[in-house]
Structure 1
Amino acid sequence: MIEHIQQQLSVPRELHNQRVDSVLARLLPEYSRSLICNWIKTGAVTLNNLPCKPKDKALGGDLITINVDYTIDNTDFNLCKPENIPIQIVYEDSEVIVVNKPASLVVHPGAGNKEHTLVNALLHHCPELQLLPRAGIIHRLDKDTTGLLIVAKNLISHTYLIRQMQNREIKRHYLTLVHGYVISGGTIDTGFGRHPKNRLKMAVTDFGRQAVTHYNINKHYKDFTLLNVSLMTGRTHQIRVHMNYINHPVVGDQLYGGRMKFPPNADEAILSVLKQFKRQALHACSISFCHPVKNTEITLNALLPDDFELLLNTLDQHDEK
């Protein structure tokens, strides 16, 4: 698959007087340093609208422009084999599938995950997806995040839906339970990139790509808050990172929030259900998009999975403020 990348980036003061390839590697952590160097050498990158070399120094406030066609490696997807894994299909027609992904199911194949992924399940359900980039998957959910995910069934619909995603026209809404009492709703707007020390994590940064998360209060409990969350951008782990950034980590999120925190003097029923909850309390509950052929808006909803519903029911009975 060929993805066209066209971006203009202002060099932050923190990266003043560093090499152009180093600056781009920091600002665009999803691309390798060698790939970025190749873009520079082939003239796809300019510094202040002039050709540049990887070793050229960029100053704070300089403008770096990228204009390149990037071929995405689809090898891992092509090696996937169909597997008869049950999946819940919320919507399907000749153009698109929307699934309600369960917890513990990895979306994409990768290192250590060539089998038992959502891609394997989709290929069993719809073998022609093998011909599409990323098996037609338009966006992703973390392994232990549940909820709605869009899959295109042909190249025309895939292109149309990817464009909607890039233009931020697909609306995704989540429910998440976080620790503590969130006083009011708000918007988190930060730089976002790879964690400087732990490559498995993402982090809020002073540079990098913009990440915007909107949230409002659904319900207050004594020790927790249920939030409605919507994304303007869709960075990896965005909600989890942003909730931790405002000191209200997602319940069960060990990667960003650490070990499960049990409220002092909590009811035994609450302690019991928290000990059994082995993942982040995050569910993609609603999604809206324009149908690629019918040109009508499709809005779909997914009920909470059983474990999340049990957690909230227990809090309703024992932890109301």
Structure 2
Amino acid sequence: MPRFMPRLSTILLSGLLLAGSSCGAALAVPAVQEEVFSLVDTLAIMRVTLPGEGGAPVRYYLSRPAKKSPLVLYIQGSGCTPPFVGLGTPNRYSTLYSWIPLAQGGRYAVLAVDKPYQSDESQKGERGSAIGCAGAFNQHFSYDAWLATLKQALRHALRRPEVNPARVLVVGSSEGAPMAAGLARAFPEVTDVVLLGANGPTQLYDFAANIYRSSDSDEVKLQRLQELDAIFNAISADPKSTGKFAWGHPYLRWSSFFAQSTAENLTHSKARVYLASGMQDNSVPILSTEAMYAQLRAQGRDVTFRRVPGAGHNLAPEGRPVTEAQKEFDAFITWFERR
């Protein structure tokens, strides 16, 4: 068997047969499925598939440290690119920067989760948008559906023998930041949260803040703000539409995220918070993160804010690859380890 082929072990955690009272028919409860993949030469990971709670199956990925270890969950940004590509083939890789090196270190059980209705097929549009996403992804993706998926995966992972549930770090990048805040609010087990390129108030605020920070005249800014209001009104008039798009995503996605405040959700959590934002971020303006930082500080929370000069949305110098931001990723792990 080639070393890149998965070893499949199906575990029937819930595979009991329920006998029908009148006809004697048996109904099998769907099983939890586990597969083991070689990701790189020194790292094997598990892919766990859970029966969905009223929706698509929930699929997550977990590294296997040698002993019971703290859990680190990475939540990806926007779009339909899966966290792992090509598993079971020679061309396998992770799209989550720093996930593999952290897992290889063996000090943590490192977790990632597929978005609901995530397809393994390649996207036909620009990464980060929802244009060209395969399968039923766009018909279902919303803040609420994604949060429900993350909650089910985290709940299951916390019971695994590899995981020490006393220390749980959730790392949310970009769109993953409001999801991390929502998880921290829902799970008191989340002890620490890292938000990278994170909005503070609703994402609607980010659009307005970016308009104000532009070099346009006040007249042009006013026109752009009016256009923003018009798009928001259109989304509000048809909030569940999956066929109408704005800024590369269906209305359903925007209406559900506009209803959430990352800052507000964090104020209802007990987690320590680490924020890192590029001062030249053109996607999520750092002023949005500043608003959250101010709110958390006023609440007396344990919050650290790393403002990265000259950096863009990926914490690297504007226009440069994320690999040039390695020290920023090292910094938040160091922060976590100092607890």
**Does the TM-score normalized on the shorter chain lie above 0.5?**
no
TM-score (norm 2): 0.29
Structure having the larger proportion of residues in strand:
1
Structure having the larger proportion of residues in helix:
2
